[in-house]
Structure 1
Amino acid sequence: MQPKKKEIVLSRKQIEQKVKEIATQITRDYAGKTPILIGILKGAFIFLADLTRNIELPLKVDFVRLASYGEKDYSTGQIKLIKDIEFSIKGQDVIVVEDIVDSGYTLAFLLKHLAKMKPASLKVCALIDKPERREVEVKLDYVGFQVSGFLVGYGLDYSEQYRCLPDVYRLIF
């Protein structure tokens, strides 16, 4: 199904300001530490890049890739780990960086997976939260925005399209 139109819901200026606010809070919360940021591919790569440029701490960065949507516009609830982290997080402070938290299935799966590796702390930073769609409860420690609808841009996609848009749009079907 092709969208009929798209409407802007978050401008690049709004996003830039919020990323700076979150980075400032993380910098304060992790003062004197070297947190590991784990980005969830593919959607979070732009948010993670901007976030790391604004956090004023030494950092480590890694990525995971999970699949739950496939070609659908909703989570199937069946999560597959496609790419795991590449170094140990045991005893480390970890922040999972997610583009959007919708049903919660993917994030809950990942948090359980990472917790088995015994990090010192495990927190979540999400650009967008959609609590009205939540089916599995997950705790979000840093949240940029609450926005409803099917969203694209700033790394978010629909069938691998729209990721490169600098703003976030709601697709109207």
Structure 2
Amino acid sequence: MRSEMEKDILKVLITEEELQKRIAELGEAIYERFQGRRPLFLGVLKGSFVFMADLVRACQLKSDVEFIAVSSYENATVSSGRVKINHDLQQDITGRDLIIVEDILDSGSTLAFLKDYFLTKGAASITIVTLLDKPSRRTKAITADFAGFEVPNEFVVGYGLDYCQEYRNVPYIGVLKPEVYAG
């Protein structure tokens, strides 16, 4: 496959095949936990959209989907720690079982904020699913209920994750060359 982004990738960290296998496993585990209930899958935009589409298909539950857009990076490589809601929920979540779908659990600022926010809006339960977990960067006391892969403290892109809105369409998780974002 031809790609103009390939030259910016230092190395492939997680292949397409590894992603699909692990997402199938996550889908099965979530199905087992929520069977007989009607959870609301809540994607954190923009990074989670690719993962969420595959996860919802892998998890054959009667469910609903919703999205929230937040920002804490503002085109930087490190979270500012301040979370801003850019697009809020479009439905009442009172009494709902929420499954928050995130691309990466890094500092934890976004997910800690969202968990508190959704609890104040009346969610019955909150389950956090993240494709990537980077515990070495955690500054908030939060963990995922389901995590796809633990990754080292390197700048990763692909499969929804971006740098300055680019690289989301790379079909694997790759480490971005430092010269691309340094400067």
Q: What's the CA shift string for 1:118-154, capped at 9, x where partnerless?
A: 2111110000000000011113100000012110000
Aligned to 1:110: 114
Matching of residues 60-79 of structure 1 within 5 Å = 60-79=64-83
User: How far did 1:75 drift?
Assistant: 0.3
Compute the TM-score of the two structures, normalised by the length of structure 1: 0.96
Tell me how far apart the structure 2 counterparts of residues 110 and 69 of structure 1 sit (CA, whole Å).
15
Deviations along 1:58-113, one digit per CA (max 9) or x if unpaired, are 11000000011012100001110111111111111111000001011111111111
Structure 1 residues 56, 4: closer, same or farther in 2, change over 3 A? Answer: closer
Matched AA of 2:122: K
**Mapping of 1:93-104 within 5 angstroms?**
93-104=97-108
State the partner residue of 1:154. Answer: 159
Number of residue pairs the alignment of both structures matches = 171
Q: Give the structure 2 partner of residue 163 of structure 1.
A: 168
| 1:41 corresponds to which of 29, 40, 45 | 45
- 3-state DSSP class of the match of 2:131? strand
- Give the SS at the match of 1:123: strand
Q: Percent identity between the aligned chains? A: 37
Cα distance in 2 for residues equivalent to 1:120 and 1:127: 23
Equivalent positions of 1:78-157 (< 5 A) are: 78-148=82-152, 149-157=154-162
* Other structure's SS at 1:89 match: coil
* Secondary structure at 2:107 match in 1: coil
Q: Deviations over 1:8-66 (max 9, x none)?
A: 00000000001000000010100101100000000000000000111111110000000
What TM-score do you get using the length of structure 2 for normalisation?
0.91
**Matched AA of 1:144:** G
Give the secondary structure class of the aligned counterpart of 2:143: coil
Q: Alpha carbons of 1:4 and 1:53: their partners in 2 closer, same or farther (altered >3 Å)?
A: closer
5+ residue gaps in structure 2?
1-6, 179-183
After superposing on structure 2, the runs of 4+ consecutive aligned residues of structure 1 that deviate more than 4 Å are none
Code of the aligned partner of 1:150? F
Is the counterpart of residue 7 in structure 1 residue 49 in structure 2?
no
Alignment equivalent of 2:58, drawn from 54, 57, 64: 54
CA 1:69–1:130: 2 relative to 1, 3 Å = same
